[in-house]
Structures are given as C-alpha cells and as structure tokens.
Amino acid sequence: MKKDYIYNVIKNSQTSLTAEDIYNNVSQNIDVNLSTVYRTLNNLVNKNLVNKVVRQDKIAYYELAQDTHKHYLICDKCNCAFPTQMCTIDKIANKIKKETGFNITSHTLEFHGICQNCLKNAK
C-alpha cells in the first residue's frame, strides 16, 4: 500500500523530511504522484502517526510522531537537521505559566549553525 511505503520512508529516516524528499524516495519504488504523497501525509498527521513541523524557513517537514519532543539543530550550509532531545524550555514554560496564568501547551525552538560535516569540508 502507498501509505505504508510513505510511512516507512519517514520511519527509516534519521532526519525529518519534506514532502518532496518523501516523494523522490517513494517514487523510485512505486507509481505515485506528489498530490497523493501530500494527501497521505495529511492523513498520517491526522492519525497522529506523523508530526508535521513547519520550520522558520516556512517549509513543512515530516517526522515520526513520538512521545518525547525534539528540537533541531539546523545547518545553514547543507540544511540538514539533527534532532536533540535536550530541552529545558518546559521548566521555563512552567515558570511563565505560574507567573502569568497563560496555559502554555507547546513551544518551538530551532538552533542554527554549521554541522560537523560542513565544518570538516570547509577545512
């Protein structure tokens, strides 16, 4: 099934993928068009199997939905995204919640810089 192919591509990826990335990968194996990929992705997001994350570059990236939330280190050279589970924002959010009464339910945070590969290649 097309849905399983698309889900597996996301599942087996070390990093989050755009719809185009997924399409390029899946279309090598099965006959599929980009609008089907988008439709399937929306479907997976609605079922909470996949998370859609819109980054500061306004592009939507897809990743497997997990209990632990992640933030990404984004390389400004190659646009690779490396996940990190390091996050102390929840502590800060709790403090803000107490002080302001604002019910914070989520946060976004992105780190930008140059990845190790690009640093190596620059030498």
Segment interacting with Zn ion, rule: CB under 5 A, options 23-31, 38-46, 55-63, 87-95: 87-95
Give the residue with the Cβ less far from Zn ion, 65 or 87. Answer: 87
Binders of Zn ion among residues 11 to 70 (CB under 5 A) are: none
Which residue among 30, 34, 78, 92 contacts Zn ion (CB under 5 A)?
78
Q: Rounded to an integer, what distance in angstroms lies between the CA atom of residue 9 and that of residue 6?
A: 5
| 118 near Zn ion, rule: CB under 5 A | yes
Q: How far is CA 76 from CA 30, 59, 79, in A?
A: 32, 14, 5
- Nearest distance from residue 36's CB to Zn ion, in Å? 31
Q: Tell me how far the alpha carbon of residue 52 is from its chain's centroid.
A: 6
Give the residue with the Cβ less far from Zn ion, 49 or 89. Answer: 89
- Which 8-state DSSP code applies to residue 48? T
Q: Rounded to an integer, what distance in angstroms lies between the CA atom of residue 107 and that of residue 86?
A: 14
Structure tokens at 89: 């924002």
Give the residue with the Cβ less far from Zn ion, 29 or 121. Answer: 121
Structure tokens at 106: 């989520």
Q: Which residues bind Zn ion (CB under 5 A)?
A: 75, 77-78, 80, 87, 89, 115, 118
